[in-house]
Structure 1
Amino acid sequence: MADKKGSEFYTRPPVLGKWEGFRQFLWNPETSQFLGRTGSSWGKIILFYILFYIALIGFFAALMAVFYQTLDPTKPKWELEKSLIGNNPGLGFRPMPPESNVESTLIWYKSSDKGNVNYWQEELRKFLKPYERDDTTTAAPNVIQCAKHQSPPPGKVCEVRVTSKWHPCLSEAGFGFEDEKGGPCIFLKLNKIYNWYPEYYNTSNLPGSDQMNEYLRRDIEEAQNIHQHEMVWVTCEGENPADKENIGPIRYIPHKGFMSQYFPFKNQEGYLSPLVAVHFEQPKRGILINIECKAWAKNIIHDRVDRRGSVHFELMID
């Protein structure tokens, strides 16, 4: 026979509705539980997580402190071929097309359309702002004026300054974009690689004529005769035969390359990458022109796919 006395201690809990069950979960007055836990239970679990996260943050901070002891804030840990960017610099151009078309390399404008021309001019003004310094502007204390091919003293850097000699590649001249007969100025810069030294070309180490055109070979030979050949040379050409016919004459300002006094880059205060302004004097209008510019040094490899040592863009003037 079943024990009736034992069954008296169990009573089935009342069936609660959804709202009543939720209210009881928030606060149960019979057990003094909030969200299913008593005050002491909540205190223990909160204390546990506070101590846990304090220990975790302390452990992470200790690891970061040890890690930063192995780094030098002025130089990368891995240099040149040991680094991710390697020891083959790329070439960049300005102005760039709008960010809305980030993959585009097309410079397309109409010289009589002020609104269209203004975009390209403003992009260049922003890019050149650090370079446009007059006599009233104070440069960094370690920035000095250097003679051609004269390396600066330790801790100093040579000044890169856009002056009136860069005409027509100046803001007041509209960078050539408003010229109804001529073409624009495109600025080239070599990407910075820490402690990279160019290996300069001379008459004894020129590549074959299938790699370097005769005009550049002649320029290097003439520069060597006056001991001015130590530079990273720059060339811009049409990519295809039709492009070469349509590109017209080209002028390089202030020199046909990046002078030796700006190398190597060692993250010096006030350092600015040297520039070459390429003035397309009379490109054919109404035609898309594919242009490839290359930087030339013995230790610069040209690779169109990986964009090493060269840069491609298109120019179209309506």
Structure 2
Amino acid sequence: MADNKNKVNEYYTKPPELGRWEGFRLFLWNSETSQFLGRTGSSWAKILLFYLIFYAVLVGFFVALMAVFYQTLDMKRPKWELDSSLIGNNPGLGFRPMPPPSNVESTLIWYKSSDKGNVRYWQEQLSLFVQSYQKENNEHADNVVPCSNFIKPEEGKVCDVEMPPTKWNPCLPEAGFGFEDEKGGPCIFLKLNKIYNWKPDYYNSTNLPGPDKMNDYLRKDIQDAELRNEHEMVWVTCEGENPADKENIGPLRYIPQRGFLSQYFPFKNQDGYLSPLIAVHFEQPKRGILINIECKAWATNIIHDRVDRRGSVHFELMVD
């Protein structure tokens, strides 16, 4: 009986205490049980096989879902268009050059024309911008064709945005975009934001808004253009926002014409497509004074909202 009791006590004998290093070494490899990090080889094989199958099934499930998802997408056409989309059907305007990234929230174009170092930033920004409109820099140049005004290209092709010196001077790199003119002012480039399949509804003499919504000189320009059958464009106006700004802004010149021509619409994500451009040359802005400027795009289906900047763009100009 005593022998059995001794055997039981021996079975429950407390294992010898090990030091930290000895215990860690035993955890790494236990030669008595052939365990590595607390598991035998078969145990490691089973758990690795389980996770291999688990993640393989997970990746396969994800890939299958993505494949089904991409079958519902058209890489050229958005699923939701115009009123159904978040961007809506009311395009806005963008302007170039933009202020430095260090002042990203600013819309102020401020420079001193006699200081070449001061104007270099603005000229370099515009040079980079117009380079993207050069046909040799367009990766889909074969899809870009020259177009006559108001004549749309063949299906799938896009019209070139040409900038011949005879029409675009002084809004060209070689002329410094007007920034070095000590008597005149700069050229500011405007472009209409792209909205897929948006088609402008053009103004003519029968649908012009009243004088309280459109100034008389634009009304007259549209009527005169209609007589020449050249009215189908998204017209553009730039004006001082306040009475003082209107006095200080000086005469303006729109290059190459006063709006975006009809052959560039609608945008359908064609290869090589670039938004049409116009340049606004501020010929004699008042110097040393901050001028608030608002430019608007005009079509019957463009709504203007100054608060949300719908159909328009705002910036400030100061020439020292």
Q: Percent identity?
A: 76
Q: By how many angstroms is 1:173 displaced?
A: 0.1
For residues 189-231 of structure 1, the C-alpha deviation after alignment (integer angstroms, 9 at most, x for no partner) is 0011111100011122122222211221111111112211111
Does the aligned pair in 2 maintain the 1:132–1:163 contact within 8 Å? no
| Selected match of 1:266 from 265, 268, 274 | 268
Distance in 2 between residues matched to 1:191 and 1:174, nearest whole Å: 26
Task: Let me know the Cα RMSD of the aligned residues.
Answer: 2.1
Task: Give unmatched runs, 5+ long, in structure 1.
Answer: none
Q: Which has the higher helix share?
A: 2
**CA contact 1:236–1:294 (8 Å) conserved in 2:** yes
1:31 CA displacement: 2.8
Distance 1:317 1:14 in 2: 88
* Partner SS, residue 286 of structure 1: coil
Deviation of 1:73 (Å): 1.9
Match of 2:118 among 116, 119, 137: 116
Does 2:266 correspond to 1:295?
A: no
> Would the alpha carbon gap of residues 15 and 313 (structure 1) be closer, same or farther in structure 2, given more than 3 Å must change?
farther
Counterpart of 1:216 (choices 195, 215, 218) is 218
Change (3 A) 1:5 1:138: closer
Matches within 5 A, 1:125-140: 125-133=127-135, 140=141
Residue equivalent to 1:141: 142
- Which letter does structure 1 place at the counterpart of 2:38? G
- Partners of 1:313 and 1:82 in 2: how far apart? 30
Q: 1:59 to 1:133 in 2, by over 3 A?
A: closer
Distance 1:19 1:97, change over 3 A: farther
- Separation in 2 of the partners of 1:93 and 1:61? 42
Relative to structure 1, the CA distance from residue 27 to residue 317 in structure 2 (aligned partners, 3 Å threshold; closer, same or farther) is farther
User: Displacement of 1:139 after TM fit?
Assistant: 7.3
**Alignment-derived partner of residue 256 in structure 2:** 254
State how 1:50-199 maps to structure 2 within 5 Å: 50-133=52-135, 140-164=141-165, 165-199=167-201
- Cα distance in 2 between the residues matched to 1:77 and 1:198: 21
Does the 8 Å contact 2:140/2:271 carry over to 1?
no
Aligned AA (2:161): V
Q: How does 1:29-68 map to 2 (within 5 A)?
A: 29-68=31-70
Deviates more, 1:25-34 or 1:232-241: 25-34
**Consecutive aligned runs of 4 or more in structure 1 exceeding 6 Å deviation:** none
* Local SS of the residue matching 2:141: coil
Quote the offset at 1:245 in angstroms: 1.3
Distance in structure 2 (CA, Å) of the matches to 1:26 and 1:292: 74
Q: Structure 2: any 5+ residue segments left out of the alignment?
A: none
Change (3 A) 1:262 1:21: same
Conservation of the 8 A alpha-carbon contact between 1:253 and 1:279:
yes
> Structure 1 residues 44, 307: CA separation in 2 closer, same or farther (over 3 Å shift)?
farther
| CA contact 2:135–2:141 (8 Å) conserved in 1 | no
CA distance in 1, matches of 2:13, 2:103: 73
Q: TM-score, normalised by structure 2?
A: 0.92
Q: Distance in 2 between matches of 1:215 and 1:224?
A: 14
Measure, in 2, the Cα distance between the counterparts of 1:17 and 1:306: 72
Query: When the two structures are superposed, what TM-score results if normalisation uses the length of structure 1?
Result: 0.93
Q: CA deviation at 1:281?
A: 0.7
Q: Distance in 1 between matches of 2:25 and 2:18?
A: 10
